[in-house]
Structure 1
Amino acid sequence: MKFAKTLATTAAAALIAGTAWAANPMVGGADMFENKNIVENAVNSADHTTLVAAVQAAGLVETLSSEGPFTVFAPTNAAFEALPAGTVETLLKPENKDQLTKILTCHVVSANVMSAALSEMIISDNGSHEIKTVGGCVFEAKQMGTNIIIEDENGGISTVTIADVKQSNGVIHVVDAVLLPKM
């Protein structure tokens, strides 16, 4: 009887742990773990290898591994590929580190902002909510149907394709375009 009770307790704990673990969406074919930080999870996403390389080249690994909280609008490899030919290669050169850092930090907000909260802010602000980033950029968040879109300082539009990927130091929202600051 004691064994059955222990087995039932263990099974319930595993089910609860599995449910909590399964709540986070997969990104780039990889599980995303709430107990890992932004960098620890991003390196496992096949869709974010360019972003990870850029974060490393900009020297932001330590920052994005720190306590946070951070909200990161994480562009996919396809988002980087959509930039004009040669842009990524040029940005990854050591002499362009400041420009790369500016672009990347314009994808980061120093708060933990889940999509439901962002949607509420958009509604409260009559359909457009200003987002101030760590990099000093000011973007506009809007709702188009069920999608949250972000308009950068140049009028470029990025759509959140995977929202609310919880991290130990914040949240990631996968986006389909690179947000660009006015330079």
Structure 2
Amino acid sequence: MLKKFITTLALIVASLSFTSVAYAEHHGMKKDIVDVAAENGSFNTLVAAIKAAGLVDTLKGEGPFTVFAPTDEAFAKLADGTVESLLKPENKDKLATILTYHVVAGKVMAADVVKLDSASTVQGQMVIIKAKYGNVMVNNAKVIMTDVKASNGVIHVIDTVLLPK
């Protein structure tokens, strides 16, 4: 019961965080995908990984991009030591491969995502998309928030890190 309450509370707090970002964007304070993620507070690991992989300039670029963004909790689900290992300079290419597997070229809003059964990532491989019973899954990751707008695309928040094959 307590775990369910804490989970619900965390989702409410996350929703409020995204609402403030959406409000700022709506009121002319447009920020790119990296800035939106950095200011949110739920994507510290993702932002650190983007920096370590040398993808900041790319994701601050014109785009548009659709990013399936794993939360800090999603990264925490990985095996112990995985994130720390990936953030090492010698693993920069592997990290970039994983991160670009979360990005689709173009701005694909939620209304369009649910009509797809797959999408080609900028990494080169496809992700499988399934919409069932009010949930949208990207591979094995559940989309927990949609249509977080940025000046150069859109973010859809996911609960699991996507790993290419």
- Which TM class, normalised by the smaller chain length? 0.7 to 0.9
Q: CA RMSD in A?
A: 1.5
Unaligned runs of 5+ in 1: 1-24, 122-128, 152-156
Match 1:67 to one of 36, 56, 62: 62
Give the structure-1-normalised TM-score: 0.76
- In the alignment of these two chains, the number of paired residues is 146
**Residue 132 of structure 1 corresponds to which residue in structure 2?**
120
Contact 1:73/1:108, CA 8 A, preserved across alignment? yes
Max Rg structure: 1
Contact 1:28/1:48, CA 8 A, preserved across alignment? no
Task: Tell me how far apart the structure 2 counterparts of residues 120 and 139 of structure 1 sit (CA, whole Å).
Answer: 14
Task: Tell me how far apart the structure 1 counterparts of residues 47 and 76 of structure 2 sit (CA, whole Å).
Answer: 14
Does 2:159 correspond to 1:176?
yes
Task: Return structure 1 stretches of 4+ with deviation > 3 angstroms.
Answer: 25-30
Q: Which amino acid aligns with 1:31?
A: V
Contact 1:111/1:170, CA 8 A, preserved across alignment? yes
**Residue 165 of structure 1 corresponds to which residue in structure 2?**
148
**Residue 21 of structure 2 corresponds to which residue in structure 1?**
31
Match 2:37 to one of 18, 38, 42: 42
Kindly tell me: are residues 36 and 140 of structure 1, through their superposed partners in 2, closer, same or farther at Cα, counting changes over 3 Å? Answer: same
Task: Provide Cα deviations, 1:124-164, integer angstroms capped at 9, x if missing partner.
Answer: xxxxx12110011211000121111011xxxxx10100001
Tell me the SS of whatever aligns to 1:67: coil
Does 2:121 correspond to 1:115?
no
Task: Report the Cα offset of residue 165 of structure 1.
Answer: 0.6
Task: Report the Cα offset of residue 28 of structure 1.
Answer: 6.2
Task: Report the Cα offset of residue 26 of structure 1.
Answer: 4.7
Q: Which amino acid aligns with 2:37?
A: A
Task: Tell me how far apart the structure 2 counterparts of residues 36 and 26 of structure 1 sit (CA, whole Å).
Answer: 18
Q: After superposing the two structures, state which structure 1 stretch, 102-111 or 34-43, moved more.
A: 34-43
Unaligned runs of 5+ in 2: 1-14
Task: Provide Cα deviations, 1:13-68, integer angstroms capped at 9, x if missing partner.
Answer: xxxxxxxxxxxx65468524431110111111211000000000001110000110
Q: Which amino acid aligns with 2:136?
A: I
Task: Tell me how far apart the structure 1 counterparts of residues 35 and 107 of structure 2 sit (CA, whole Å).
Answer: 17
Kindly tell me: are residues 64 and 30 of structure 1, through their superposed partners in 2, closer, same or farther at Cα, counting changes over 3 Å? Answer: same
Task: Tell me how far apart the structure 2 counterparts of residues 27 and 150 of structure 1 sit (CA, whole Å).
Answer: 23
Tell me the SS of whatever aligns to 1:134: coil
Task: Tell me how far apart the structure 1 counterparts of residues 18 and 78 of structure 2 sit (CA, whole Å).
Answer: 20
Task: Tell me how far apart the structure 1 counterparts of residues 106 and 131 of structure 2 sit (CA, whole Å).
Answer: 20
